């Protein structure tokens, strides 16, 4: 087995990876400007949300052995990239590339890529290369399972943030995200997470189930009104209607949310969403667009346009958010 080797990454690549690692929290505990590679035997493996962990025993140059804890992405995020529960087992010999802990005494690393002894590659991070093969099957409606190809579908321009919002963002740090408490980021950001999104269409409702911290939304199509403003919900209250082949959703009655618009930008009870879902002409993509307004934190409404890829056979991770795992980085 090989000892740990190090190479320096370019600053621009490291910045890009760090920015894309915000699905749960920042990678502040790791030196993302430096790369390490280890080879060893998996002695412990935990397939969890919001992070997968494994312990690898490596042989050092002097013949001694040491254990390295590898933190990977969330089970929900790694699934669409090709890493599933059965990808690794205790006893496997693996080579893992990633970033070392900033604290040299901390025998851990942020995993990026894993290669098994037989040469099989698996992604360990949201920014890693996917092994997913393009799907040739097409959808006939918005119903089915879809995956957003990236987190970049929704961004709030700094100029559109109120002074109150800017003040909140200035105070934000890696530990301010509500996701450390297994409370998912708010809409529409959570709708762009690269996880399985399953849409079920019925006569009186459409259900949107997102494989991220038990996010499930019901869109009522029966003509009902929104409840009184005093009644608030984590995911709001959604009503919808069909405009041709486009589902138009209006959502109000949101609770105040510390990560309602982004990991660092909250939302208020005045938040309102208009979302549109339409099957693309190719049948392989779902077009997702809309507008969010929140006069407490946004100077004006913010629009977005994005797409989801059709993944009819994609399974949800079925892993609940593990509170201990979600808070593990706080100790680092």
Asked if domains 5-132 and 144-310 share a fold, the reply is no
CA pair distance 281, 285, nearest whole angstrom: 8
- Provide the 3-class DSSP secondary structure of residue 236: coil
Contact of 230 with 241, CB cutoff 8 Å: no
85 CB-near residues (< 8 Å, 6+ apart): 47, 75, 317
For residue range 4-33, list pLDDT tens digits in order: 333 333 222 233 323 333 444 457 789 999
Q: Quickly name the fold that domain 144-310 has.
A: Lipocalin (2.40.128)
Is residue 288 exposed (0-12), middle (13-18) or buried (19+ Cβ within 10 Å)?
buried
3-state secondary structure of 79: helix
* Per-residue model confidence as pLDDT tens digits over 62-115: 989 999 999 999 999 999 999 999 999 999 999 999 999 998 878 899 999 999
Superfamily of domain 5-132: Nucleic acid-binding proteins (2.40.50.140)
Q: What share of the chain is helix, strand, coil (3-state, %, to 5)?
A: 15, 35, 50
Q: Which helix (H) or strand (E) holds 39?
A: strand 34-46
Cα–Cα nearest to 89, from 59, 114, 106, 68:
114
CA torsion through residues 312, 314, 317, 321, sign? negative
**Residue 11 neighbours by CB distance under 10 Å:** 10
Please tell me the predicted confidence (pLDDT) of residue 332: 53
**Tens of pLDDT, residue by residue, the chain (332 residues):** 433 333 333 222 233 323 333 444 457 789 999 999 999 999 999 999 999 999 999 998 898 999 999 999 999 999 999 999 999 999 999 999 999 999 887 889 999 999 999 999 999 999 899 998 777 899 999 999 999 987 778 999 999 999 999 999 999 887 788 999 999 999 999 999 999 999 999 999 999 999 999 999 999 999 999 999 999 999 999 999 999 999 999 999 999 999 999 999 999 999 999 999 999 999 999 999 999 999 999 999 999 999 999 999 999 998 999 999 998 866 65
Q: Which sequence spans correspond to the domains of the chain?
A: 5-132, 144-310
Coil vs helix vs strand at 75: helix
β-pair type (215-220, 237-243) = parallel
36, 102 in Cβ contact below 8 A? Answer: no
């Amino acid at each position: 087995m090989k000892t740990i080797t190090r190479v320096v990454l370019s600053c621009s690549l490291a910045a890009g990876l760090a920015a894309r690692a915000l699905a749960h929290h920042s990678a502040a505990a790791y030196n993302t400007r430096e790369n390490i590679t280890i080879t060893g035997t998996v002695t412990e493996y935990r397939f969890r949300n919001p992070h997968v962990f494994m312990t690898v025993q490596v042989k050092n140059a002097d013949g001694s052995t040491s254990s390295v804890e590898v933190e990977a992405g969330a089970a929900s995020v790694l699934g669409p990239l090709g890493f599933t529960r059965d990808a690794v087992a205790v006893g496997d010999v693996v080579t893992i590339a990633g970033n070392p802990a900033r604290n040299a005494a901390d025998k851990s690393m942020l995993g990026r890529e894993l290669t098994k002894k037989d040469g099989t590659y698996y992604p360990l991070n949201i920014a890693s290369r996917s092994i997913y093969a393009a799907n040739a099957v097409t959808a006939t409606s918005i119903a089915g399972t879809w995956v957003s190809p990236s987190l970049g579908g929704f961004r709030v321009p700094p100029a559109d943030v109120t002074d109150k919002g800017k003040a909140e963002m200035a105070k934000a740090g890696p530990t301010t995200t509500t996701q450390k408490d297994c409370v998912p980021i708010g809409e529409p950001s959570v709708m762009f997470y690269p996880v399985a999104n399953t849409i079920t269409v019925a006569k009186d409702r459409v259900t949107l189930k997102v494989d991220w911290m038990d996010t499930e939304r019901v869109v009522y199509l029966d003509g009902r009104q929104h409840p009184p403003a005093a009644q608030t919900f984590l995911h709001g209250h959604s009503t919808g209607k069909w405009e041709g082949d486009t589902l138009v959703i209006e959502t109000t009655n949101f609770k105040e949310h510390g990560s309602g618009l982004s990991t660092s930008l909250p939302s208020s009870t005045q938040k309102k969403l208009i979302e549109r879902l339409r099957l693309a002409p190719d049948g392989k993509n779902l077009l997702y667009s809309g507008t969010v307004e929140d006069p407490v934190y946004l100077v004006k409404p913010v629009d977005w346009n994005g797409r989801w890829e059709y993944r009819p056979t994609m399974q949800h991770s079925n892993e609940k958010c593990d509170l201990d795992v979600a808070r593990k980085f706080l100790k680092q």
